[in-house]
Amino acid sequence: MSKKIGVFVCHCGTNISATVDVEKVAEEAKKNNPGVSYTTTYKYMCSDPGQKLLRDKIKEEGLDGVVVAACSPKMHEHTFRNASKKAGMNPYHVEISNLREQCSWVHPDKPTGTEKSVDLVRMMTEKTRKDKSLNPIKVPVTKRALVIGGGIAGIQAALDIADAGHEVIMVEREASIGGHMAQLSETFPTLDCSQCIMTPKMVELAQNENITLYTWSEIEAVDGYLGNFDVKIRKKARSVDLDLCTGCSSCWQVCPSKKIKSEFDMGLGKRTAIYIPFPQAIPSKPVLDREHCLLFKDARKKNIPPNDSKVCRKCLDICPIAPVKAIDYTQEDEIITEKIGAIVVATGYKELDDISMYGEYGGGKYKDVITGLQFERLASASGPSEGEIQRPSDGKVPEIIVFIQCVGSRDPAKGCSYCSKTCCMYTAKHTMLYKHKVHHGHAYVFYIDIRCPGKGYEEFSLRAIEEEGATYLRGRVSRVYKKGDKLVVLGADTLTGSVVEIEADMVVLASAMKAQDDAEKFAQKLSIQYDKDKFFSEIHPKLKPVESSSAGIFLAGTCQGPKDIPETVAQAGAAASKVLALLSADELEREPVVAKVDRLPAPIFSTCIGCFYCQRVCPYGAIESEDIKARDGSTIKTVARVNEGLCQGCGLCAATCRSKSVELAGFNDEQVYAEINSVEFN
């Protein structure tokens, strides 16, 4: 029985109708096409009356197939499928013919545009004719979320989810949560102390009964799919039993290895081998750095188990916990598996720390050329100089300090073309912090542009210049070199057209925010996409800013791109709300547009030859292998199978399959050939 198809051509105001004769398109759709029983045009099909028109005509005309000739299916396919569902039709009999993005917007000529539109509509009509009813796939939901990364983004997302009553597992690879925000001295544009606003949240997280915290732990593998992830977590050997340890501090006070560069202080301060990264750390319990610990070094050298080495056991000896001590040199990595419904990725950023790539600024060569985060540590009361601005080489208070902006940002020649967004503001803040601490000192800033597009940001930056007296010079620095104990900064002031030479005591590079070193590998582990700079990609830059390319995995904070604290917190809240929406249902409905590997009766079973090319091209890890077994349990053949929960319907497998065994629902070969043939024969 042939379908009764309705064609609805949208004017889209004048977006389509200015370059396409929509009336003619509707008329032609009907010509020589007995299947098309109704055609019309309407000014805005997506409007309420437009949708009502669609619903009414489906009922009145008894349509069982619909072509809406309008904008991209990405915009309104969902709208029109919903409308048809309300009218009692299976929504997968609705097809969109894209007359806007793929025709009227790109062709200026009306006759050609109209001709192409007629073709496009005919193609979709032919496809619609072969549409089959599809039903949403239902999947159960594990009501528990995983948050990866314990910086401000992860903490905010975890708290929001936990406060709504759901269980949260947080995994942080460092010894403490807190991330980069815990390292900052003050925050712009209010100059409130970062730790003062951060630590209450850290404590709240630690005390929240719904949250299980794994620090010093990393994600090993993520399997499963939306609502039903199986996550393997590697709890790295901490050498300290968190249940027994009281955080009394005895061990790190007696540790003899006191000269290890502190990661938290960006290498400016020192720490011991058994340590907590900073005083407000959560958990406030140490971790033993096996790389630098004398005992482990000795054991490695002698190739003996660490417990057999007798070089130094000071931390164990002093540990007051009895009868079993909290320190355990024999601890090994432990892998645990957790069932998870939804994931928030909040793995943060890394500051450009290889400043030796900026040899012209003396990066990596001079101790007194430091990065932005290093300056934060210098200015922080908990930092290596307890908040006094001292230059690293000799501890002298710098009287002239030069800030160079856009180091590693906006520099395509060095492979970083993007703007790191936060540096203009943090440099303005740095000049103020410096001025507040060194009243007689003078700060110079070399900038390309001053970008302050936030609430109170412009005023903040003007305050640095007008009230706090920082000298802003618009231009680049060509060279920094040492002359005696000064750093000579050569630069251009493009506003006066002159060359500037400043003899400074210290130079601060506004280093870029970069993706984490292992971002690429991590994204592959989670099957989420990333951009050219290795930041994780959202599905839609405007309308789906927190959704990753894999269903059920959301992005928060700087792992998705450079952003400041307010924006990070907002995005984390958004990611949490998406997770909550997911966890609020007992079952999830998924789009049935998924691939399927054929199954046939014996003795063929499947035309799949088991080459697994599909597995290699699948970006979502959705192809599994299945053994087809005989009655005696022996394997007859091994074929591919699509995990419907993971499949996103991209169709790569279907296109790759050499034996044509994979079919994408709603896009099968018959439909695609029907589309193509409808053009060729005219």
Partner 1 sequence: MSEETKKTKIGYYPGCAITKCSTSEEYGTSVLGVSRVIGPELVEIDDWNCCGASSGHATNHKLSTALSVRNISLAEKDGYDEVLAPCPMCSQRLIVSQDDVEKDEKLREEVEDAIEMPISNNVKVSNYLEIVKNYSMDEIAEKQKKKPEGLKVASYYGCLLVRPPKILKFDDPEDPKTMDEIVTAIGAEAVDWEFKTSCCGGGFTLSRTDVVVKLTNDILEGAADAGANAIAVACPMCHANLDMKQNNIEKETGRRFNIPIVYISELIGLALGLNPKDLGMDKHFIDTGSVINAFSNIEK
Q: Which residues bind partner 1 (CB under 8 A)?
A: 359-360, 365, 413, 479, 481-483
Residue 372 DSSP code: H
Question: How far apart are CB 475 and partner 1 at their closest, in Å?
Answer: 17
Closest approach, Cβ 103 to partner 1, in A, equals: 35
Q: Find the shortest distance in angstroms from Cβ 499 to partner 1.
A: 10
SS3 388: coil
Q: How far is the CB of 361 from partner 1 (least distance, A)?
A: 9
Residue among 647, 645, 660 at smallest CA distance from 611: 660
Q: Which amino acid is at 649?
A: G
Tell the smallest beta-carbon distance from residue 359 to partner 1 (Å).
Answer: 3
Shortest Å distance, C-beta 500 to partner 1: 15
DSSP single-letter state for residue 238: -
Q: Which is nearer to partner 1, 480 or 553 (CB)?
A: 480
**Which residue reads 């900026």 in tokens?**
358
Name the strand (E) or helix (H) holding 260: strand 260-261
Of 361 and 554, nearer to partner 1 (C-beta) is 361
> Which residue from 223, 227, 255, 219 is spatially nearest to 239, judged by alpha carbons?
255
Q: Give the residue with the Cβ less far from partner 1, 110 or 365.
A: 365
In angstroms, rounded to a whole number, what is the distance separating the alpha carbons of residues 176 and 59? Answer: 62
> Least distance in Å: CB of 511 to partner 1?
17
What is the C-alpha separation between 421 and 564, in angstroms, rounded? 8
What separation in angstroms does the CA of 557 have from each of 290, 421, 537, 621? 31, 13, 12, 25
Taking the complex as a whole, the smallest distance from the CB of residue 328 to partner 1 amounts, in Å, to 47
Contact 158, 168 (CB under 8 A): yes
**Cβ contact 182:278 at 8 Å:** yes
Structural contact between residues 104 and 118, judged by C-beta atoms closer than 8 angstroms: no
Rank residues 74 and 479 by Cβ distance to partner 1 and give the closer one: 479
Strand pairing category for 506-511 and 400-407: parallel
**Side-chain-facing half-sphere of 596: CA atoms under 13 Å:** 11
Nearest to 94 by CA among 61, 55, 40: 55
Q: For the chain, what percentages of helix, strand and coil (3-state, to nearest 5) are there?
A: 30, 25, 45
Measured from the CB atom, is 413 or 602 closer to partner 1?
Answer: 413
Name the token pair of 392. 């690293």
The residue (of 366 and 418) whose beta carbon lies closer to partner 1 is 366
CA distance linking residue 471 with residue 401, whole number of Å = 11
Q: How many whole angstroms separate alpha carbon 661 and alpha carbon 600?
A: 10
CB of 482 to partner 1, least distance (A): 6
CB closer to partner 1, 479 vs 544: 479
> What are the b/e assignments for 123-136, b being 16+ CB within 10 Å?
bbbbbbbebeebee
Q: Which is nearer to partner 1, 1 or 413 (CB)?
A: 413
**CB contact at 8 A, 630 and 574:** no
Both structure tokens of 252: 């790190």
Q: How far is the CB of 409 from partner 1 (least distance, A)?
A: 19
Find the shortest distance in angstroms from Cβ 375 to partner 1. Answer: 23
Nearest to 674 by CA among 46, 65, 81: 65
Shortest distance in whole angstroms from residue 413 CB to partner 1: 8
CB 71 within 8 A of CB 47: no
In angstroms, the first-to-last Cα distance of the chain is 25
Neighbours of 327 (CB within 10 A): 23
Q: Would you say 360 or 517 has its CB closer to partner 1?
A: 360
Two tokens, residue 235: 């709890």
Looking at the Cβ atoms of 44 and 481, the one nearer to partner 1 is 481
3-class SS of residue 195: helix
Please say which residue, 365 or 637, places its beta carbon nearer to partner 1: 365
* For partner 1, the closer CB: 154 or 362: 362
Q: Which C-beta is closer to partner 1: that of 52 or that of 482? A: 482
Q: What minimum distance in Å lies between the beta carbon of 362 and partner 1?
A: 9
